Structure 1
Amino acid sequence: MPFPSVRPVLTVLYLVAGVIAVTASPSSAQESGLSFLRIGTDAAALARGDAGVASTDNAFATYWNPAALAAGPGHSLAISNHLWIADVRTYALAGSYRPGLKWGVGAFVTATGSGDLEARDRPGEPTGVFNAQFIATGVGAARDLGPLRAGVVLKFLSERIFTDSAEGYAFDFGLHADLADGAIRLGAAWQNLGSMEDLSAQATELPELLRLGAEIFPFRIIADLDGTPLLTASIVTEYSRDMVGDESRLHVGLSSEVLETLVVRAGYLTNDELRDFSAGMGLTISSLQFDYTLLPFESGFGGPAHILTLSYAW
């Protein structure tokens, strides 16, 4: 039973699935593969232009910035589900724990699967089906150094396409800081420093990313009687660069939170062939938070995508 070669299949899968939006040919795909590592895991960050290196301080700091594991107020567990097009799904599970005032630790697993895709070696009827799976799992730790926090994540990577599979490893390093009594948060992360085994005949190049970002709280309205936040506005900006693919993106997001219960978000992402605008909302009830994000796709790619996240903090 003939099947198309792995490299063209990778490109088609990435374009159809929305797991990558930077390739148009098999050769360009090899400049930076495993591009599911470029897409955020949680709905809150994806709604604000896929920006989270400065703002995320919960369990998903294991993805965005390991240094922020030492920034959160407590412990957290979170799950997230990405409903892409063409039966592609991404599932993420993460947890963070504060063993002391100075330390934070976390662990995560993320899995992306394509479902069954038709395989062809010529125009006409499919010659069979194939699927692809990508998995990332790892652990991280962070230390509060006073005005600055520093952290690291070690992750193990796996990819399988048709009958070919490969494994690898990568490190993420991050810095995080609060300024002006928490009115400004800064974050920086260097992600996916590592390597993969050969897949078929060639190793997939990891998307080595540099992320620099800031979150600003331009105003807060607080109740006089008990100090309860009535309204909080936030702006996030982030710059990301794929060092291997030689591609840069700008991420911008806004959010407004009412009574620490309901939050509305919107964002914009540049230089992505698949998506640009995003929007979402979140609802907090006691220790539970539910977040939803809608990602419209550019014309011709189908969609939209839906991101659902549930987190628990204590």
Structure 2
Amino acid sequence: MTMISKGMAVVAAFALVTSASFGQVGGAAVPFLLISPDARASGMGDIGTAIADNANAVYWNPGGLGFNDTRQIALSFSKWLPQFNADLFYSYGTYAQYVDAIDGTIAGTVIFMNLGEFKRTLSDGTVLGTFRSNEFGLSLSYGTTISEDLGAGVNIKYIQSNLAPAGLGSAGAGVGISAAFDLGFLWKPQKLDFFGMNLDNVLRLGVNLQNVGPKMTYDRESDPLPTTLRTGIAIKLVEDEFNDLLISADFSKLLVRRDSLGSDPIPTSFVTSWGTGGIETGIGMEYIYDQVVALRGGYFTEPKAAGARQFFTIGAGVVYELFKLDFSYILTVEENHPLANTLRFSLLVDWGLEG
């Protein structure tokens, strides 16, 4: 029995262009966990570790939740790999609220990745039926401030992968289930003197260890989660009554080492993975006028050993009362790249703690 579907090629491409882990033999499971959810960060070259301090900090750096003292809903949607016209889409939703009794912000998040429809066929081409593939994650988060300038946060995740029905006999068949955690810190010094330079409210530094957990186990194989170490820096270049200009950069490393014999376990892979793949780099800028209109641009690159993705990004945003709407667009260096023309839309609703 075989599976024949345009979706098979699409899912393979999804894996290749989504995660550096697929530049290695076999790769890691559930690469949807590495997709940037919000259009603000996506428009700046897929960066956010040092700048996310609203509900979207759940993905980029839960330490940023410690600086959020309001109630927010963040929603995002993107048609994924539009070049394939294969009904792949990514959706994301987070609710975050500050709770005075625990001196911090709690959040709940849902992520859903639709991977399309597959045909189930015999070797002679007879169609036995169809099935749909998807992956999703649920998480609970908590973030607080350790000091006036330092935030810390943690995510606890449930992850499920439904690539193919059990009994098909293919790799990845059956329901894969795992759990993971993230741990992040964000430093936003309000007072900082650096060799005579006044950096008060100018510098931000962030670090986030993502997707630490046991392997995702299917019927016939087990694959490691895409455990990733992210670091970020942001500098506020201009801040006055009407203008804000920010530059930021992220550096991320997949902490997975896998070869034809298998993959290294955690925490061994935290050390051995540095000899494989490479470091992804994103850099971006954001200009905001009168706290109403934002323009963004960025660039993302990774070494050949890690997948060789390269693309430019542009984005924009507008604020109206308690609504913030953002969009981003990917401009790939390579023609006919699967990520070309990818659009992301996200909405942030912030209505404070009262009302």
TM normalised by structure 2 equals: 0.77
What are the superposed Cα offsets for residues 61-111 of structure 1, whole Å, 9 maximum, x if unpaired? 111111111112422111100111232100100011111394121110100
CA contact (8 A) 1:19 1:36 kept: no
When structure 1 is superposed on structure 2, of 15-24 and 177-186 the one drifting more is 15-24
> Is the partner of 1:106 in helix, strand or coil?
strand
1:253 equivalent in alignment to 2:290: no
Q: Match of 1:96, as an amino acid?
A: A
When structure 1 is superposed on structure 2, of 155-164 and 271-280 the one drifting more is 271-280
Q: 1:15 aligns with which of 8, 13, 16?
A: 13
Query: Would the alpha carbon gap of residues 16 and 244 (structure 1) be closer, same or farther in structure 2, given more than 3 Å must change?
Result: closer
Tell me which residue corresponds to 2:51: 55
CA contact (8 A) 1:66 1:174 kept: yes
Choose 1 or 2 for highest CA Rg. 2
Runs of 4+ in structure 1 off by over 6 angstroms are 119-128
Q: 2:164 aligns with which of 158, 162, 165?
A: 162
Q: Match of 2:317, as an amino acid?
A: G
Structure-to-structure mapping, 1:1-314, within 5 angstroms? 1-3=1-3, 9=8, 12-16=10-14, 20-22=18-20, 28=24, 30-84=26-80, 85=82, 86-100=86-100, 102-117=103-118, 129-146=130-147, 147-163=149-165, 164-179=174-189, 180-222=199-241, 230-244=242-256, 246-247=276-277, 248-271=279-302, 273-297=308-332, 298-302=334-338, 303-314=340-351
Compute the displacement of 1:33 (Å): 2.2
When structure 1 is superposed on structure 2, of 70-79 and 126-135 the one drifting more is 126-135
CA distance in 2, matches of 1:29, 1:127: 32
CA distance in 2, matches of 1:294, 1:279: 5
CA contact (8 A) 1:19 1:35 kept: no
Q: Match of 1:287, as an amino acid?
A: L
When structure 1 is superposed on structure 2, of 194-203 and 56-65 the one drifting more is 194-203
What are the superposed Cα offsets for residues 183-224 of structure 1, whole Å, 9 maximum, x if unpaired? 1111100010002442121122111100110111111122xx
Query: Would the alpha carbon gap of residues 269 and 65 (structure 1) be closer, same or farther in structure 2, given more than 3 Å must change?
Result: same
Query: Would the alpha carbon gap of residues 241 and 23 (structure 1) be closer, same or farther in structure 2, given more than 3 Å must change?
Result: closer
Query: Would the alpha carbon gap of residues 259 and 293 (structure 1) be closer, same or farther in structure 2, given more than 3 Å must change?
Result: same
CA contact (8 A) 2:19 2:34 kept: no
For structure 1, list consecutive stretches of 5 or more residues without a partner in the other structure: 223-229
Compute the displacement of 1:29 (Å): 5.5
CA distance in 2, matches of 1:121, 1:177: 57
Compute the displacement of 1:301 (Å): 3.1
CA distance in 2, matches of 1:262, 1:300: 32
CA contact (8 A) 2:185 2:207 kept: yes
> Is the partner of 1:152 in helix, strand or coil?
strand
CA contact (8 A) 2:61 2:184 kept: yes
> Is the partner of 1:13 in helix, strand or coil?
helix
Q: Match of 1:190, as an amino acid?
A: L
Q: Match of 2:13, as an amino acid?
A: L
CA contact (8 A) 1:14 1:21 kept: no
Query: Would the alpha carbon gap of residues 189 and 159 (structure 1) be closer, same or farther in structure 2, given more than 3 Å must change?
Result: same
Q: Match of 1:167, as an amino acid?
A: I
> Is the partner of 1:37 in helix, strand or coil?
helix
CA distance in 1, matches of 2:301, 2:21: 16
Query: Would the alpha carbon gap of residues 197 and 232 (structure 1) be closer, same or farther in structure 2, given more than 3 Å must change?
Result: closer
